[in-house]
Each structure stands twice: as C-alpha cells, then as structure tokens.
Amino acid sequence: MWDWIINFLAGVLAGIEGFCGDWGLAIIILTVIIRVLIMPLMNKQVESSARMQAAQPKIQELQARYADDRELQAQKMQELYSDLHFNPVMGCLPVLLQMPVFFALFTVARDRIPADASFYGIIPSLADSAGGMIGSVGWAPAAVYVFFVILFGVLTFLQMAINARQVSEDQRKQQLGMGAVMAVMMAWFGWGIPAGVILYYNASALWGIVQQYFVTRRVMEKAKAEAEQSMQGRPAVSVDVVRKEKKPRPRKKS
C-alpha cells in the first residue's frame, strides 16, 4: 500500500513537471491541488471549532451542574454536541489526509526524481538537505537551504499564532508557547530532510495563512453566529440529580 502511494505520487509529480517544466514548481502545483481538494474538509473543521468556542459557556455550565454525576454529564455533553453538529474527528481529518503525502514525498524527493531536479536554480537540488549541503559544499552555497529551513519553523509558529487569536487569553499564551517549541522542533527536523519536502510544507503553510485571512475567518464568524443562535433557542439546563434526604436517627427508649 505504501509503495503504491509513493509510485502514484511520483507519477503525478512527473506528469506535472512534464507540463510546467520545473520540479520545484511541480511540487508547488501539487500542493495547491491537495489544498484545494481538502478545502471543504478544512472549512468543516473550522465550523466545528467555531461552534465549540461559542458553546464554551454552556459547556462550563454543564460541567459545573453535573460535576457529581459523570455519566449524566457525558450524556448532556453528547446532546449539546449533537445540537451543535460537532464532530471531533473533523478536527484532525484534514491533517491526517495530508500526512501520507508529506512522508511519501520524502522518499520521492530522495529516490524518485533526478538528482539535479531544482526549483528554477533557486534550490539547486530538491533531493539534498540543509545539513547535507553544509557538510558537502559549506555554508555559503547552502545558505538558501538554511533559509527555507528557517522559513519552515517560522511558518509553523505563524500558523499557530494566527489560530491563537480565536481563543481566550490564557489559552493564547499556552498556544504561543507550544508554537515556539514546535517551530524549533520543525526547524531541527527540517535540517535533515530533502528540500523538496520543505518546499511542499512551506507552500502548504503559505496557502493556509492566505486561506485563513480570506476564507477561514468568514466561515468561522458565520458558524459562531449560527451556534450562538442555536444556543439561545436551547432550553435552560435542569438539574436531574436527586439528592437523598437524611432521615432522623431513631431515639432509644429510656
């Protein structure tokens, strides 16, 4: 199955390169095709996230009211999720669909495209990595590889920073801290992977940022408004827990 994915991706890339005449541009075009195909799923993910944000006060209310009854709390939460059309799977599905392409492209860039495949001469070899180029030709010729790796980390942080604007202040600080750690980790990871994979990720991240400004915000605002309207029409939560009354202890006859 994995070999099939690699062969398919290599064939698609070769076909695009035959059309546009450059391997780097072929990777960017492949990125755009993938992002366009998963855009409906991304929008569903955004809608789901927006509904959850709008429902946070109601979720906290349910958690407080049914703190002593976990089973009933779970039931009420499930009812709320159903009313909001929230599906937890949608949050990770777009990422999961892109992961096979990301890892398969590692093999394709290393083994399946010509050694001299470049990105219009800007990146001389898409099969080489920043670390490998520094070891073989030195820092100066490898500068462009280092730049793309740094951009790899910066775009990772930037995407998380943009998403952090939609949450509370405490959560925002947490996400920004996680974003900084992830940026360093991704830059370290990118040091040893082919430049073709870095180019794919950077093109995908840039697409995501542009989509965030022109599409995602509108989808999120609409979903929030619909969720708030739905919450207003939802009846107030009632306490279903029946507390047992303490009976007076019988007195002994004297």
Summarised one tens digit per residue, pLDDT across range 10-66 is 899 999 999 999 999 999 999 999 888 888 877 777 777 777 776 777 777 777 887
Give SS3 for 119.
strand
pLDDT class of 227 with cuts at 50, 70, 90: low
pLDDT class of 111 with cuts at 50, 70, 90: confident
Q: Which residues pair with 123 in a beta bridge?
A: 119
Q: How far is CA 73 from CA 77, 141, 236, in A?
A: 6, 61, 15
Lowest mean pLDDT among 44-58, 177-191, 229-243: 229-243
Tell me if 78 sits within 8 A of 86, measured CB to CB. Answer: no
Compare 251 and 138 and report the one with higher pLDDT. Answer: 138
Count the alpha carbons within 13 Å of 234 in the hemisphere toward its beta carbon. Answer: 19
> Taking the model in full, what pTM does it have?
0.75
Compare 12 and 80 and report the one with higher pLDDT. Answer: 12
Count CB-CB contacts under 10 A for residue 78. 11
Q: Is the alpha carbon torsion for 158, 126, 2, 203 positive or negative?
A: positive
Mean pLDDT within 128-147: 90
pLDDT class of 115 with cuts at 50, 70, 90: confident
pLDDT value of position 233: 56
